[in-house]
Chains A and B, each alone.
Chain A
Amino acid sequence: MIQFFNMLLIGIGAGSIYALMAIAMVLVWRSTRVINFAQAGMALLSTYIGFELVQKTGNFWIALPLAMVLGALFSALVEILLIRTLIKHSTSGPVAGIVPIIATLGLLGLIRACIGMIWGNQDIQIQPPLSKVGFKIGEETIALSPMNLLVLLAVLGMVVILGFIFQKTSLGLSLRASAYSPEIAQLAGIRVGAIRTIGWAIAGAAGAAAGLLQTVNGTGAVSPDSLEFSLLLTFGFIAAVIGGLESLPGAVLGAVVLGLVLAVVQIYISGTLVFIVAFALLLLVLLVRPQGFIGVKAGRRA
């Protein structure tokens, strides 16, 4: 019983961080129709910046929002410098579809190389701001520490804020309109270019939060070659795709489902199999329900 309960906690905890990555993927996809394979690289960069800020300020809670702001700025810069150039140069023909994929892949490599040059390829350590010893219910220690709880609450808070922005503000309306149909949005007086940049910026902030929280929630160690980031890269993508790639609630749902499935595998079968199980889950969803959990068929045409 307690094992099952712990499994749920671990699954949801891991899923909440994938959710941030998945949200970042969805935001970028909706604003520019690009799957940003550099998302994990950008999150990694923000994590390193967060690490520097923790060193300078000595306080994780000041470093996190600052890193998110810088992550957003960097992401906006990428959109303006790289993605806009890409769209301007866009060619028709067989390679048109793969150009953004390759470009973001190149960016991923570039970011990793730059991080390695500045900080080296060894692990850096970020101290978790809260205790990582699990709460106790009676005699049993459960798989939920103050740190885990805080991560959960932080992610939940961000999802709620994002949901509010998207549903209740005029900025959210513009974001949704330009995702739905750029031309019509433009005719309605929305500055689609600026809105796209904002979509990327929000994604950058979400990615930065995911990177930092994942790091302090896990071992606290991070390096350009670390497993954590191939994890964020693939699981964010998988969560976004099985959630439908178009919708934010879908991304969160996909991430939690992924987190739970992987927790089951990790606890009852073997920890080394998580990647291949995640792949199998992705393949299964794409074959059985290609529009994702939440999503309409027409939206899948890339």
Chain B
Amino acid sequence: MLKKHPLVGFALFGVVLFLLSNRVDELRVFQGATVAIYVIAIASIILLTGYSGQVSLGHGALLAIGGYAAALARIHWGAPVWLTFCIAVLAAALGGYLLGLAAARLSGPYLAGTTLALAIGLPSIANQFPLFGGEQGLLYDIGMPPASLGEDFTQYKWYFWISSLAALISIYWLRNVMNSRYGRNWKAVRGNDVAAELAGINVGRNKVLAFTVSAGLAGLAGALLAMTISTVSPGAFPLALSFSLATGAVLSGVTTLGGVMIGAVTLVAIPEIVDTVVHRFETSENIANNLPGLLVSTLLILTVLFVPNGPVEQMRARHEKRAKR
């Protein structure tokens, strides 16, 4: 039944999340919100990399565009929260469109390096113009949860609900896009762009479109991220964020959306695991500070060496092989 009606599956998963959010403590709820945000951001990279063969090391910059757009709309126009999310998506998509125009003409390492330069360069704009509030950044306050949800409904739970709902809708929508004409075009371009061109697909336009959609999703993730920390500042979107997201995408497997949770959960779980290890063994501060980086990097290298298509795709391939025999 779930195979036939994915919407039912998504709704069921949503209900499970809702029930869970009432059972676990505050910290876990907050981590859940972070996982949901990472799911959106990683899905946006998977869309770009896995379905159009391009890799972006600068998705943090697109998240930043989304976050700043949402905060500015909130501060200057007093826009309602749902509208600021829409504005974040549109602003980031516009940025992604412009970047995509350039990106469509770049291949592999050029695009990676260019987006990397963007991720390093963009925060400096925030420092340059007073509109963006400099190093302190801007406040982005979505307000208290509605009173109708009850007295003891916490802020974090509110964040979790919003992020999870956004993630569920995004993934469901993305899944449908992938099975649509556009998704098939992207897959064709990924497989062989010359053949795709001969089949009448406009390769350049499709790459730009993939970039735009991906950027829009990243913008949504950026606004949600800004929501959970109540501010947007250059420091909230460091290069490390871009790298983590790329890592998450590789761990999830860049060719399918199926594994998107794996990367998101890993990114949130690693600091947690490190914390436990550090407390158990009472390691020095240097080791404690750098253990997460070490684990993530090692995992990244091992993944790319041994399961470059990601664990989900690997299992599927193995399954198919066995079925054939």
Distance A277 CA – B304 CA, assembled complex (angstroms): 33
Q: Which one of A82, A106, A114, A301 has the greatest number of beta carbons of chain B within 10 Å?
A: A106
Distance A82 CA – B302 CA, assembled complex (angstroms): 10
B118, closest chain A residue (CB): A279
Q: Judging by beta carbons under 8 Å apart, are A286 and B121 in contact?
A: no
Q: How large is the interface on B (under 10, 10 to 19, 20 to 34, 35 or more residues)?
A: 35 or more
Interface of B is mostly: helix
Q: Judging by beta carbons under 8 Å apart, are A273 and B128 in contact?
A: yes
Name B113's contact: one of A82, A103, A117, A241 (CB within 8 Å).
Answer: A241
Q: Judging by beta carbons under 8 Å apart, are B239 and A94 in contact?
A: no
Complex interface: chain A residues within 8 A of B55 (CB): 97-98, 101-102
Counting CB contacts under 8 A, is A1 at the interface? no
Complex interface: chain A residues within 8 A of B243 (CB): 105, 109
Q: Judging by beta carbons under 8 Å apart, are A98 and B105 in contact?
A: no
Distance A124 CA – B112 CA, assembled complex (angstroms): 31
Counting CB contacts under 8 A, is A129 at the interface? no
Counting CB contacts under 8 A, is B36 at the interface? no
Counting CB contacts under 8 A, is B131 at the interface? no
Distance A41 CA – B128 CA, assembled complex (angstroms): 28
Distance A287 CA – B101 CA, assembled complex (angstroms): 9
Contact A94:B191 (CB < 8 A) given known A86-B305, A287-B105: yes
Distance A275 CA – B239 CA, assembled complex (angstroms): 13
Counting CB contacts under 8 A, is B235 at the interface? no
Q: Judging by beta carbons under 8 Å apart, are B289 and A279 in contact?
A: no
1/0 contact string of B96-110 vs chain A (CB within 8 Å) = 000000100111111
Distance A230 CA – B247 CA, assembled complex (angstroms): 18
Interface of A is mostly: helix
Counting CB contacts under 8 A, is A58 at the interface? no
Complex interface: chain B residues within 8 A of A89 (CB): 305-306, 308
Name B108's contact: one of A97, A109, A276, A282 (CB within 8 Å).
Answer: A97
Q: Which one of B113, B239, B255 has the greatest number of beta carbons of chain A within 10 Å?
A: B113
Q: Judging by beta carbons under 8 Å apart, are B286 and A99 in contact?
A: no
Counting CB contacts under 8 A, is B163 at the interface? no
Counting CB contacts under 8 A, is A137 at the interface? no
Name A117's contact: one of B127, B191, B287, B298 (CB within 8 Å).
Answer: B287
Tell me how far the C-beta of B190 lies from the nearest C-beta in chain A, rounded to whole angstroms.
5
Q: Judging by beta carbons under 8 Å apart, are A286 and B289 in contact?
A: no
1/0 contact string of A3-28 vs chain B (CB within 8 Å) = 00000000000000000000000000
Q: Judging by beta carbons under 8 Å apart, are A35 and B112 in contact?
A: yes
Counting CB contacts under 8 A, is B179 at the interface? no
Counting CB contacts under 8 A, is B6 at the interface? no
Tell me how far the C-beta of B281 lies from the nearest C-beta in chain A, rounded to whole angstroms.
14
Complex interface: chain A residues within 8 A of B190 (CB): 94
Complex interface: chain A residues within 8 A of B247 (CB): 106
Tell me how far the C-beta of B289 lies from the nearest C-beta in chain A, rounded to whole angstroms.
6
Tell me how far the C-beta of B170 lies from the nearest C-beta in chain A, rounded to whole angstroms.
22
Tell me how far the C-beta of A28 lies from the nearest C-beta in chain B, rounded to whole angstroms.
11
A115, closest chain B residue (CB): B290
Name B301's contact: one of A110, A121, A272 (CB within 8 Å).
Answer: A110
Q: Judging by beta carbons under 8 Å apart, are A276 and B122 in contact?
A: yes
Counting CB contacts under 8 A, is B142 at the interface? no
1/0 contact string of A265-302 vs chain B (CB within 8 Å) = 00000101111111100110011001000000000111
Tell me how far the C-beta of A246 lies from the nearest C-beta in chain B, rounded to whole angstroms.
13
Counting CB contacts under 8 A, is B124 at the interface? yes
Distance A275 CA – B298 CA, assembled complex (angstroms): 29
Tell me how far the C-beta of B114 lies from the nearest C-beta in chain A, rounded to whole angstroms.
6
Q: Judging by beta carbons under 8 Å apart, are B305 and A113 in contact?
A: no
Contact A270:B128 (CB < 8 A) given known A94-B50, A278-B117: yes
Contact A103:B107 (CB < 8 A) given known A241-B113, A272-B124: no
Name B304's contact: one of A34, A37, A99, A286 (CB within 8 Å).
Answer: A99
Complex interface: chain A residues within 8 A of B228 (CB): none
1/0 contact string of A103-132 vs chain B (CB within 8 Å) = 101111110111011111100000000000
Counting CB contacts under 8 A, is A93 at the interface? yes
Distance A46 CA – B9 CA, assembled complex (angstroms): 53
Complex interface: chain A residues within 8 A of B285 (CB): 120
Distance A101 CA – B301 CA, assembled complex (angstroms): 11
Q: Judging by beta carbons under 8 Å apart, are B102 and A286 in contact?
A: yes
Contacts of B8-59 to chain A: CB distance below 8 A: 49-50, 53, 55, 57
Q: Judging by beta carbons under 8 Å apart, are A275 and B117 in contact?
A: yes
Task: Knowing that A35-B112, A241-B110, A290-B105 touch, tell me 15 more A-B residue pairs with CB under 8 angstroms.
Answer: A34-B109, A89-B306, A89-B308, A93-B309, A94-B53, A99-B304, A114-B290, A116-B289, A116-B293, A117-B294, A230-B120, A238-B113, A272-B124, A273-B125, A273-B128
Show 11 A/B contacts (Cβ-Cβ < 8 Å), sorted by A.
A94-B49, A98-B108, A110-B293, A112-B293, A121-B286, A230-B120, A237-B117, A238-B117, A273-B128, A275-B120, A276-B125
Which 5 A-B pairs rank lowest in CB-CB distance, beginning with the nearest?
A109-B297, A113-B293, A106-B300, A116-B290, A275-B121
Q: Which residues of A contact B (CB under 8 A)?
A: 34-35, 37, 82, 85-86, 89, 91, 93-103, 105-110, 112-114, 116-121, 230, 233-234, 237-238, 241, 270, 272-279, 282-283, 286-287, 290, 300-302
